[in-house]
Amino acid sequence: MLIAFQVVFLVSLGLLLYSYCIYPLSLGILARMFGNPVRMDEAAAPPRVAVVVPVYNEQEVIRRKIDNLLGLDYPPEKLTIWVGSDCSSDNTSDIVKDLNNPRVKVWVAEERGGKTEVINKLAPTISADVLLFTDANTMHRQDSVRKMMRFYADPSVGGVAGTIEHRYQNKEVEEVLYRSFESRQKLLESRLHSTISAFGGFYSVRKEAFTPIQHNAYSNDDVLIPMNVIRRGYRMIFTPDALSSEDTTENVKHEFWRRVRIGAGNFQAFFWLLDFLNPLRGWPWFCYVSHKVTRWFSPLFLVIAFASGFFLTALHGPFLYRLLFAAGCALIAVACSFLVAPLPFVRPLYYFMSMNTALFFGFFRFLRGIRSAAWTRTERSESNTQA
């Protein structure tokens, strides 16, 4: 019995360590040894790009968004803008129509279906070489789309994801560090073969590589669409040079429930991507299992480690395991203390625990069943919505 608990304890801790430490560190070595460069051609004719902007009640930012897109350093005749309204109840659609710009189109859904249904129904109707998906509150640097499109000179590339920098009033936010951590992994995975996800507010795919996703896909288009690109035999590339920025709420409650929604979508995606658990898929299999699957199930590993550590302590197991369990309990207590005394040095630990707790809640939301992907716009501070 003790041996079984020891094995379970060590395996669960080992998977956590692998997900957050060993895999990210090994990527650099693997990319140097087995990297497969992508051909870029600055002189190649730029592809025709259709920018797809799914919106729901974005009247506060939609004009600024369109102005930003129209001001991009990209041939105007090669770039069109499609605003897909998910039955917005405010003036979003009217604001776009009043622009009376032939490069800016408005598409209005017949009924609410969420971002997924806007993309699924609108994207196949568009004539373009490349579809670029972006959010209403994501603002792009002038050269971002041009730098993204360079990679399509390589016929093996079916999709390109860009970088989004989050703007906060408080610069000492762990989300910034986490997204930098994620960006590095995406870049190194691209060098091996493909990144297996994108930042949802800024990524593109070849029109011929686009495949509609499940109608009730929930906060996971940035995983499912890139993975469909890989299914079609293409590579999905991440570039840190294509830069955008996004205002993000610092409201702890809003952020937590946003992560719960993402967590529910992650577990939904897991069962739609079972074919990527096949090692014969090569590097995409390795990156998907190592980067996503172990991360999505990390709350389960934490619970199993805690439970097995508790039993090892109760059964007077080896001292090392009791010591590790006591250290884990102390870390949990320190993380929870942030709710009472928000000390700066405790915040990273609290962020880690909060992120995994949200994933855990997301698992139960997934088990209850996801019937609709319709979303409510994230509230943003007034200062963040002004141009």
- For 130-142, how does the pLDDT look when each residue is reduced to its tens digit (9 = 90+)? 999 999 999 999 9
> Which among 63-72, 259-268, 322-331 has the top mean pLDDT?
63-72
Query: What is the end-to-end Cα distance of the chain in Å, rounded?
Result: 63
Q: What integer is the mean pLDDT of 141-170? A: 89
Residue 380 predicted with pLDDT over 80:
no
Residue 171 predicted with pLDDT over 60:
no
Do residues 85 and 113 lie in contact, with contact meaning Cβ atoms separated by under 8 Å? no
Residue 357 predicted with pLDDT over 90:
yes
Query: What residues pair up with 243 in beta bridges, in sequence order?
Result: 163
Under the phi-then-psi rule, with left for phi > 0, alpha for psi from -120 to 50, and beta for the rest, what region is 87? Answer: left
For the domain made up of 49-250, give the CATH fold: Spore Coat Polysaccharide Biosynthesis Protein SpsA; Chain A (3.90.550)
pLDDT for residue 219: 79
Tokens for 64, please give them. Answer: 């600024």
Q: Where are the domains of the chain?
A: 1-34+268-372, 49-250
pLDDT for residue 30: 97
Q: Is 194 helix (H, G, I), strand (E, B) or coil?
A: coil
DSSP 222-284: HHHHHHHHHHTT-EEEEEEEEEEEEE----HHHHHHHHHHHHHHHHHHHHH-GGGG-GGG-HH
Residue 215 predicted with pLDDT over 60:
yes
Interval 62-93: pLDDT, tens: 999 999 999 999 999 999 999 999 999 999 99
What average pLDDT is seen over the chain? 90
pLDDT for residue 252: 60
pLDDT for residue 105: 95
Q: Which residues contact 2 (CB under 8 A, 6 or more apart)?
A: 312, 315, 317, 318
Global pTM reads 0.90
pLDDT for residue 250: 55
pLDDT for residue 203: 97
Q: What integer is the mean pLDDT of 311-316? A: 89
Q: Is 108 helix (H, G, I), strand (E, B) or coil?
A: strand
CA separation, residue 209 to residues 52, 226, 267, 269 (Å): 16, 9, 24, 19
278/349: higher pLDDT: 278
Residue 371 predicted with pLDDT over 80:
no
Q: What integer is the mean pLDDT of 300-313? A: 94
pLDDT for residue 167: 66
